[in-house]
Amino acid sequence: MTDARADALPPASPLDQDFSRPGRKPGGRSGWRLVRGAWRLLVGIKDFLVLAAMLLFFGLIFAALNARPGTKAITDGALLLKLDGPIVEQPETIAPLAMLSGGSVPHQYRLRDLVRAIDAAKDDGRVKVLVLDLDAFGGAYPAALQEVGNAIQRFRKGGKPVLAYATAYTDGAYRLAANASEIWVNPLGGTLFTGPGGNQLYYKGLIDKLGVTTHVYRVGKFKSFVEPYIRADQSPDARAASQALYGTLFAQWRESVAQARPKAQLDSFLTQPDRAVLASNGNIADANLKAGLVDKLGDKLAFGKRVAEIAGAEANKPAGSFRTISYAAWVKANPLPTKGDAIGVLTIAGNIVDGEAGPGTAAGETVSKALLDGLAEKKLKALVVRVDSPGGSVLASEQIRQAILEAKRQKLPVIVSMGGLAASGGYWVSTPADLIFAEPGTITGSIGIFGIIPTFENTLAKIGVTTDGVKTTPLTGQPDVLSGTTPMLDTILQAGIENGYRQFLSRVAEARHMTPEKVDTIAQGRVWDGGTARQIGLVDRFGTLSDAIAEAARRAKLDPAKVHAEYLEKKPGFAAMLAEGFDSDDDSQQGGDVFAIAAAERRAIAARALGDVARLARGGSVQARCLECGALGPVGTSSDERLLDLLIAKLGY
C-alpha cells in the first residue's frame, strides 16, 4: 500500500522517482538514493549562495547609503581625533563581509593622513579646537608618535587649544596627550607608566614536551627571533642589546614628555609611583593631578561640556555633545596635492611575504608590480621608498630590491624614508638608496638571517610510529619532517644561510661605502635606534617622509614646492571602499582603567606571539625578521587578533 500511494503522488522532482521498480531504469534503490541526496545537497548549496549574495548586496547598499561623502560641508567645531586603533603606515583593507559577520571593523589610522589633517586644521578658521580622544588608542612606533606629537605642537603654536581625554593613558597615548593644552583623565581611572620591554613567550619547554626537534640555521649572535624556539629564556647577548635599545627609546620618551610638560613631576612618578599613589590614598587619578601629569579630572560628560565651551554645543543633543568635525570628512576635504611633477612613493609596510597580499602586508609580487607599473605609467621624476617593516622573507625582500634597482637603472634618484620600523628585511630593501632618512626613534638594523625547520621524529616515537623507506641519494626525502634531518642537510642549509648573510653584508657594504668586515661588526642581527644608526653609518639624515620627498625633488633638479607625491600602492577594491561606509565616530570602542589597559596589552602580546608562530610556519623561506620590534609598536594586526579569538574559541574559553 505504501508503494501504491507513493505512485499516486507526483514526484517532487525527476530525481525523486524510484527507477528501481519494474518498467523503470535499472540502477538499484540504494544507488539512486545516493544520487537523490547529492542533488538535494547541491540545491541546498545553491540556496545558501543565493542568500549570501543577497545579504552581501543589501549590506553593501547599506554601507553606500551610510558612507560619508567627501563633499559634505565642513562647519565650525572641534576636529575630533578619536584614535580608537593604532597609527600605521598603511592600513589593512577592510574585509567587505567584516561588518556583515557581526564583528567590529578594526580602525587603523594612516600616519600621513593624520599629520596632514592636523596641519590643515592649524590655519583653518572653522576648526576651533583639536580634541584627542585616546580612550582606546591602539599604539604606534616611537617615531610615529613623535611625528604626530610635533604636528600637535604646530597646531598649538597657531594659537588654538588642544584637549585630550582618556580613562587611563598608555605610554604611547600620553606621549601624544603631553602636547595638549589640557589633559583630562577620568577620576575613576588614572595613569601609570610602564616603559618599553616586558616578558615574551619562550616555547622550548613545550617543544620538548611534544618531542619536536627544532633545527635552526642562523647567522648573527643578536638574531634573537629564533630564541623562543630553542631557549627557555633570553640569551645574554640578546638581553644586552634589548636593554640598550629599550633604554634609548625610553630616554627619548622621557625627553619628549618633559619638553612638552616641563612642570610635571615625571621622574618621581616613574621611579616611585607607589609612593605617589599611596600619598593619594590609592587614588591614581588624583596622584596624576598632584604630579602635574594631567590638568583636569572629569568624566566624558564633563569633558564634552568643556569642549562645547570652545567649539559650541550641539542643538537638540544630549548634554556633553559639542559641534564636531569628523576626522574622515576632514581628511576627504583636504586631499593630497596632485599638481606638479610626480615623485613616486613606494610603501613597504608590514611583514614582507612572498606572493601577493593586500595593503598592510608587503608582499613581494604586489609591491614590486606596483613599482614597475608606476615606472611604466606615471612619468616619475624620482622615487622615495617608505619603509615601515620588521622584515620577513629574504626572497620577497630581494624581489622588491630588484624592482627598486630598476628605478635606478632608469636614472631616477632613489631616497629611502624609514618610518617607525625598518629592520631585517626592511633594511635589505633599503640598500639601493642614494640617501636614507630616519627619525631618532626609528628602529632599524637587525642585519642577519635565519631559517627554522621543525621535525617530529621524537613526537611520533612517543605514540609508537616509525618511518622507513628507500633512498636513492643522500638527500632523498630531505628535509624529512617525520624522521628528522641528516647531518649532511644541516651542513648544506647552514652554509646557505651563511652565504645569504654574506650577501646581506655585501649589499649593505656597497650601499653604505663600508667594508663587509666593518658592516659585520654592527650587524650580527643587532637592532639599533635611529640615532645610533646614524652614528654608525646605517642612516644618513634625520627627517620625515616630507623631507625625503623634498630631497628627492632637489636631486631630480626640481623645486620641492612644485612636486606632488604619487603613491604607488594597490588600490582597495570597490567592495572594500563600500565597507568603509560602515565606519562611524560612535562610542562603540571604549577604553578602560589601568587594569583594563594592562589586560588589553597582555592580550596583544599573546596575539602577536601567536601571529609570529603562524607567520613563521607559513614563511616557507629564509627569513630576515626582527623579534624585539613587535614590543615597541602597535598592539598587533587584526589577523593576529582573529587568530587568538579562534584559538580561545577552540579551547572553549
DSSP of 309-330: HHH-PPTTS-TT---EEEHHHH
Average pLDDT over residues 395-422: 97
- In 3-state terms, what secondary structure has residue 108? coil
Residue 652's pLDDT is what? 52
Measured CA to CA, the distance from residue 116 to residue 133 in angstroms comes to 18
Measured CA to CA, the distance from residue 578 to residue 59 in angstroms comes to 9
Query: Quick check: 101 pLDDT over 80?
Result: no
Cα–Cα nearest to 394, from 227, 555, 219: 219
Please indicate whether residue 595 or residue 177 has the higher confidence score (pLDDT): 177
Q: How confident is the model at residue 140 (pLDDT cuts 50, 70, 90)?
A: very high
Residue 424 designated active-site: yes
Average pLDDT over residues 279-304: 97
Residue 464, number of CB atoms within 10 A of its CB: 6
Q: Which of 456-465, 491-500, 592-601 has the lowest mean pLDDT?
A: 592-601
Answer whether 267's CB lies under 8 Å from 275's CB. no
Cα–Cα nearest to 540, from 531, 549, 528: 531
Q: Which of 326-330, 447-451, 509-513 has the lowest mean pLDDT?
A: 447-451
Catalytic residue, candidates 223, 389, 393, 546:
223
Catalytic residue, candidates 242, 326, 389, 424:
424
Question: Do strands 109-110 and 87-88 pair parallel, antiparallel, or not at all (unpaired)?
Answer: parallel
Instruction: Tell me the one-letter amino acid at 75.
Output: T
Alpha helices by DSSP H, 169-226: 171-177, 204-210
Query: Quick check: 582 pLDDT over 90?
Result: no
Q: Which of 79-83, 440-444, 641-645 has the lowest mean pLDDT?
A: 641-645
